Amino acid sequence: MLRAPRWAVAQGLCGLSRVWWAAASSAVCHAWRESASQEAGPSGESPPKGAFERPRTNGGAPPMSEISRRDALKGMAVAGAAVPLASMLESPALAALDIPDVSLRWLEGKPAEAPGTTWGVPWPKGTVPKEQQFALTAADGAAVPVQTWPLAYWPDGSLKWTAHAAGPGTPVAETYTLRPGTAAALAKPVTVKDEKQYVDVDTGVIRVRVRKNGGELISQIWRGETEIARKGQLVSLRQGKIDDGDDRTTEVDSYLSDIAKVEVEQSGPVRAVVRIEGRHTSKKGKSWLPFTIRLYFYAGAESVRMVHTFVFDRDGQHDFVAGLGVRFRVPMRDEAYNRHIRFVGDGHGQLGEAVKGITGLRRDPGLAVRKAQVAGQKLPDVATWDTRVSSRLHLIPDWGDYTLSQLSSEGFTLKKRTKKGYGWVPIDQGKRASGFGYVGGVSGGFAFGMRDFWQRHPTQLDIRDAASEEAEVTVWMWSPEAGPMDTRFYHDGLGQDTYPEQIEGLNITYEDYEPGFGTPLGIARTTELTFWALAATPDAARLGAMADAVRTPPLIIAPPEHLAAAKVFGGLFSPVDRSTPEKKTIEDRLDFLFDYYKKQVEQRHWYGFWDYGDIMHTFDEDRRVWRYDIGGYAWDNSELSPDLWLWYAYLRSGRADVFRFAEAMTRHTGEVDVYHLGPWAGLGTRHNVQHWGCSAKQQRISTAVYRRIFYFLTADERTGDLMRALVDSDKTFMALDPLRKIRTAPYTPNPEALAIGLGTDWSGLAAAWLTEWERGGDPIAEKKLKATMRTIAAMPNGFVTGEGLYNINTGEFAPAAKKVSVSHLSAMFGQVEICAELIDLIDMPDFEKAWLQYCRLFNATRAEQSAETGAHFGNLILKQGHSRLTAYAAVRLKRDDLATRAWTEFRTGDGYAPTLPWKSEKVTTTLNPTDEAAWISTNTTALYGLAAIQNLALVGNKLPT
């Protein structure tokens, strides 16, 4: 039975205490030079002690007890107390429901290797009771064991999103059908034993022991009675300073994982999840780099998936990462000639060798012997070999050490040596390694892989001591051969010591600089890895399939038709439609824009550990490069919502390449562009040359609206953590004045009267509250969400008021005078999408009226604005992007004139015009050959994309010929 989740008191990120600070506004980010009436944009942070923790799930049946994170509910018991949930979970009896069957498919087509997969499915409002179970069948009718649990609820208590998991035993079919029913039983479900000192997980094929203390995350992996791997731990190398000259005198210290907390989040029957928190600690007791790891196990699997997140807890000027990896020991039982090394390079190209090679020798051991070694099979008994070889085996070197280094996106090197202290011998080079390797023998071995290996360069795979009784494997997420990770700020401040000087800097390079703000303290990175415990050395075809599963983890998806029919995400998208020449033209232009950015990532090499997943902001037509080195024109950092453009493009198309592009961006922007500890925890950083460089720290970057779609499509727990960390982000407005650089009168934040913008500020808060409420009925999130909606609606000019005085304790805005303060930025960071969802979810006519007023008037004439609000809105821009607001109002108000106006604004607004060339040209004079369309900018692309997609969904039937 599916039940409501239990909430527990949070311990804080990796055991660290929180400091709640506020950060810069969108006025700081974009226009100190503009009027102070523009939207303020701070805030967001991780929950303080006492905040909601993750819901514990247990095979789809989480405990029902709940406690609040507020003093108002302190009297309730932490465990065992039956307390009523918020109205969201008060599900009425849903009788005689017509629950649709859902046809599912693989995102990239049938995989050759599927270690286990988890996905999300939405349901129309009021259709699926929260207790509903589901069955999964393959295209041929075969029943597939599936595990189901809730991800989100509609306000009436019915299921909005469900998560589903299937193991590697799933029949690999083209399609599957998900329907109400009882899931097929597993012959061997995954089992979890949660003991005092360790957690044991048994998939039916392998057993894994997870330690609850010490340095070994995974102490042992068995396959049957054979121990395949042991002593799995994290390793990091710390370098105190960076040597800028030719001298190399800096010492490097080694740190290992140190476990602080282990929690079983899910325990079967198909899928089990174990969460580990800790820090890296040296032999001297010094610690750094807090980490969170989740280990995923599927019934019938011979692999373990690891999702590793670390938080950079240094200021960027001292203490540099010189290496970061995951290390295992692998027992070696076979003779040296029956031990094998494998690496998969580009595509399915492979290096296949034995520790003691018997091919290519001066004397021939025999064809059968040579063929068996190349195939990775057990060699015939040595007594059957040519004695001229068998008598001289001791004279053949054992190659125990191998290293594959990917130091750029364009090349890797592979080398080997016999053992430490002896010279390296180069093997070969290649372009883009898969990040997959294997060490072992005919009696069993260990395979290992890192996703986005070449995209996240510099990376490295090491095998050491394979000729000894115990080999060592290290998957380096930051290669030691690359030198230290340079996180220092890129310039000396240029004399910008005062606010006026900083505003001048903004006016020339678009960079909002402030001393001390360009720090990476608190940013993070999440990496996905997979480890296999194998019975024997796999053949080349299997190794290639395993490498593919690392590169592109197989994912089951629901089709765009079902996603649209469920009316999730505000109903602002519809499946791709080329049924008329006019629609086809818009669809072709949308495809062109996405394909162009896809090419730019490749041609401009937007890769690297911190950079992969982001795109650039603005093009430099003179140098014919993107402005990678010019202030706020460089990395985009979610400016004007390219994240949402990509996700809505996927929702309506089902295109795999769009999904993977959006997935990489979500992983990047949610981790690298956001602070996870320190003074700005929960806030993101505006666009800059370095992802953490801008002094404007805002919730419009960290906002949950950019994470929601990926979370619900994949049930990714790490993304769920990121959104939950924002639920109390209203507190960030207490410490740092968002308008500090342009305010003329003194301002002291008051918790009962905080100045919060009704655009980028409120929409970020609302997205976090909505997500937490619908995920499990958080009563405080629900209260604040509805209170702010009600009190915004009560303002004489509603959203046009621009800013309100917010009371943290009550969640309400104070009554406001009738005034006009409108910014072109207010609605462009997810507010359109969040308001559409809220209006669909919550029956609050006054709120809808206030939002529709804003939608109608933004692109209206000055006379219309003044007549209704008392003043016109000034010189506004981004009219094309705002055409979707007009379209939304047209549908809600049933006004054809607004639909016509929306399409006029779309075609004639200040964005992309129909008369543009809508093509790129080949350029060979740049460093690398490129496709160039100098008229393209990321701001305009994101808004054009969202406007086109939403206008087609809302008023596509009104599209003029």
Q: What is the mean pLDDT of the chain?
A: 90
Contact 452, 612 (CB under 8 A): yes
DSSP helix/strand/coil, 959: coil
Q: Do the beta carbons of residue 4 and residue 88 sit within 8 Å?
A: no
pLDDT in tens, 133-168: 999 999 999 999 999 999 999 999 999 999 999 999
pLDDT of residue 97: 65
Q: What is the mean pLDDT of residues 834-842?
A: 97
Identify the pLDDT of residue 23: 31
Confidence of residue 327 (pLDDT cuts 50, 70, 90): very high
Residue 66 has pLDDT above 50, yes or no: no
Contacts of 422 (CB under 8 A, 6+ apart): none
**DSSP states of 168-197:** TTS---SEEEEEESPPPPPSS--EEEE-SS
- pLDDT of residue 923 exceeding 80, the answer is yes
- CB-count exposure of residue 440 (10 Å: 0-12, 13-18, 19+): buried
- Token pair of 42, please? 């701070």
Burial call 282-314: b when 16+ CB within 10 Å, e when fewer: eeeeebbbbbbbbbbbbbbbbbbbbbbbbbbbb
In this structure, of 53-57, 662-666, 924-928, the range with the lowest mean pLDDT score is 53-57
CA 478 to chain centre: 19
CA triple 692-733-820, angle to 5 deg: 105
**Region 858-864 average pLDDT:** 98
679 vs 132, residue with greater confidence: 132
Instruction: For residues 4 and 150, give the distance between their C-alpha atoms in angstroms, rounded to a whole number.
Output: 8
Q: Is the pLDDT of residue 536 over 70?
A: yes
CA-derived radius of gyration, the chain: 29
Q: pTM for this one?
A: 0.91
C-alpha span between 813 and 796 (Å, rounded) = 13
The pair of three-digit structure tokens given for residue 87, joined into one six-digit string:
């109205």
Residues linked to residue 287 through DSSP beta bridges, in sequence order: 281
How far apart are the C-alpha atoms of 673 and 324, rounded to whole Å?
20
d(CA 793, CA 849): 8
Q: Would you list the DSSP string of 682-716?
A: T-EE-SBSSTT--S-EEHHHH-GGGTHHHHHHH--
Residue among 696, 596, 706 at smallest CA distance from 644: 706
- Going by C-alpha positions, the residue among 332, 268, 321 that lies closest to residue 291 is 321
- Give the model's pLDDT for residue 292: 98
Handedness of CA 371, 374, 377, 382 (dihedral sign): positive
Segment 560-575, tens digit of pLDDT: 999 999 999 999 999 9
Task: Check whether 705 has a pLDDT greater than 60.
Answer: yes
Read off the amino acid at residue 164. H
Q: Prior bond to 269 cis, omega within 30? A: yes
- Closest of 221, 294, 273, 306 to residue 533, by C-alpha: 221
The first and second tokens of residue 678, run together, are 């320190």
Rounded Cα distance between 263 and 265, Å, is 6
477 pLDDT above the threshold of 50: yes
| Helix axes of 879-893 and 845-857: crossing angle, nearest 10 degrees | 140
- pLDDT for residue 76 is more than 90: no
The residue to which tokens 């402030």 are assigned: 514
pLDDT tens string 730-778: 998 886 777 788 877 777 889 999 999 999 999 999 999 999 999 998 9
DSSP 539-570: -HHHHHHHHHHHHS---EE--HHHHHHTT-GG
* Amino acid 497: pLDDT: 95
The 10s digit of each residue's pLDDT in 350-378 is: 999 999 999 999 999 999 999 999 999 99
